[in-house]
């Protein structure tokens, strides 16, 4: 456990000593800010229009018209940033030869994988904390329901961790960071759009595909519902990817 902690501290240190963390957080906040501004302006236009029809005014809802679309749009960009965070975690160890220290130290591959994963998870948490300024604006100047904001954040965090697990897996497979990030993106895109095929393959298999979709489960989180199947999906996805990563590392020292 102490060694996992040591690894986490070391990795977080590397994120913040090199500009990687700052750049990623900055870009994430900039893009999220742009989205937020656009959605909020659109909401303004709509509310002015609705002024003319007082009957429709109670349809104006900050949760539905601002926060839901905001999360809905931000989540895609967010998902694609995660593999950039994780791409170097294991591939670099291999490339720089530092793996030779890590894997000849009295530390198990499971501890290595967990240490790397937790450091990515903590960085994701930091990213999400910073992005909280946008909902905070709504909370201060409006009166939205706070519940869906929190569940959306829980959803973002789980989804981010799942993407980090996947990123870690691809990073363990190669010593090239570009290959690691591109293959993680490929799998992520597939997981994002896999639901599209649902209509054309019949009801049973369609439902399976629907459930595999990365976004599908986030929907309910952003609507304020914590669904057990969503939580289970993300947690088992994390477990599965970390397990595979550990196997990959183990097998590499066996070849």
Instruction: CB nearer to another protein: give 61 or 108.
Output: 108
Closest approach of Cβ 26 to another protein, in Å?
19
Structure tokens that stand for 81 in this block: 């940033």
Cβ proximity to another protein, 72 vs 95, nearer residue: 95
Q: How many angstroms separate the CA atoms of 116 and 80, rounded?
A: 19
Question: Shortest gap between Cβ of 5 and another protein (angstroms)?
Answer: 8
Residue that is written with structure tokens 């990213």 in the block? 127
14: contact with another protein by CB under 8 A: yes
User: Applying CB under 8 A, which part among 13-21, 171-179, 197-205, 230-238 lies near another protein?
Assistant: 13-21
How near is the Cβ of 12 to another protein at its closest, in Å? 12
Residue 3 binds another protein, judged by CB under 8 A: yes
Considering only residues 52, 54, 141, 255, which one is a binding residue for another protein as defined by CB under 8 A? 255
- Phi/psi for 60 (5° steps) reads -70, 120
Cβ contact 157:125 at 8 Å: yes
In angstroms, what is the minimal distance from the CB of 100 to another protein? 4
Cβ pair 220, 230 in contact under 8 A: yes
Q: Rounded to whole angstroms, what are the CA distances from 49 to 44, 56, 141?
A: 9, 10, 20
Rounded Cα distance, 201 and 209, in Å: 9
Burial of 155-192, coded b for 16+ CB within 10 Å and e otherwise, reads: bbbbbbbbbbbbbbbbbbbbbebeebbebbbebbeebb
59, 100, 201, 236: residue in contact with another protein (rule CB under 8 A) = 100
Please tell me the distance from the alpha carbon of residue 5 to that of residue 158, in angstroms, as a whole number: 21
Q: Is 98 in the site for another protein (CB under 8 A)?
A: yes
Supply the minimum distance, in Å, between the C-beta of residue 137 and another protein: 35
Count of residues that interact with another protein, criterion CB under 8 A = 25
Residue from 101, 136, 207, 226 in contact with another protein (CB under 8 A): 101
Binding to another protein (CB under 8 A) within 17-56 occurs at 17-18
Torsion-angle region of 97 (φ positive above 0: left; ψ -120 to 50: alpha; else: beta):
left
Among 97, 143, 202, 203, binds another protein (CB under 8 A): 97
Instruction: Give just the sign of the alpha carbon dihedral 52, 56, 57, 63.
Output: negative
Which of 30, 56, 96, 207 lies at the binding interface for another protein (CB under 8 A)? 96
Q: Which residues bind another protein (CB under 8 A)?
A: 2-3, 6, 9-10, 13-14, 17-18, 96-108, 253-255
């Amino acid at each position: 456990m102490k060694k996992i902690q040591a690894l986490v501290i070391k990795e977080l240190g590397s994120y913040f000593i090199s500009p990687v963390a700052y750049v990623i957080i900055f870009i994430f906040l900039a893009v999220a800010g742009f989205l937020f501004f656009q959605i909020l302006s659109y909401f303004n236009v709509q509310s002015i229009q609705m002024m003319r029809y007082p009957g429709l005014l109670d349809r104006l809802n900050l949760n539905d018209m601002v926060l839901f679309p905001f999360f809905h749009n931000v989540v895609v960009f967010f998902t694609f940033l995660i593999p950039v965070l994780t791409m170097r975690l294991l591939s670099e160890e291999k490339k720089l030869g530092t793996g030779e220290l890590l894997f000849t130290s009295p530390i198990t591959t499971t501890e290595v994988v967990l240490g790397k994963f937790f450091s990515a998870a903590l960085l994701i948490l930091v990213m999400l904390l910073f992005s909280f300024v946008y909902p905070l604006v709504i909370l201060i100047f409006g009166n939205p329901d706070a519940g869906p904001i929190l569940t959306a954040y829980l959803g973002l965090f789980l989804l981010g961790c799942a993407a980090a697990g996947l990123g870690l897996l691809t990073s363990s497979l190669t010593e090239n960071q570009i290959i690691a990030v591109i293959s993680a993106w490929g799998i992520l895109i597939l997981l994002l759009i896999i639901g599209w095929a649902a209509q054309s393959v019949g009801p049973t298999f369609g439902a399976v595909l629907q459930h595999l979709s990365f976004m599908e489960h986030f929907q309910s989180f952003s609507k304020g519902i914590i669904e057990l199947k969503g939580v289970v999906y993300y947690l088992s996805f994390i477990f599965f990817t970390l397990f595979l990563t550990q196997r990959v590392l183990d097998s590499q020292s066996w070849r």
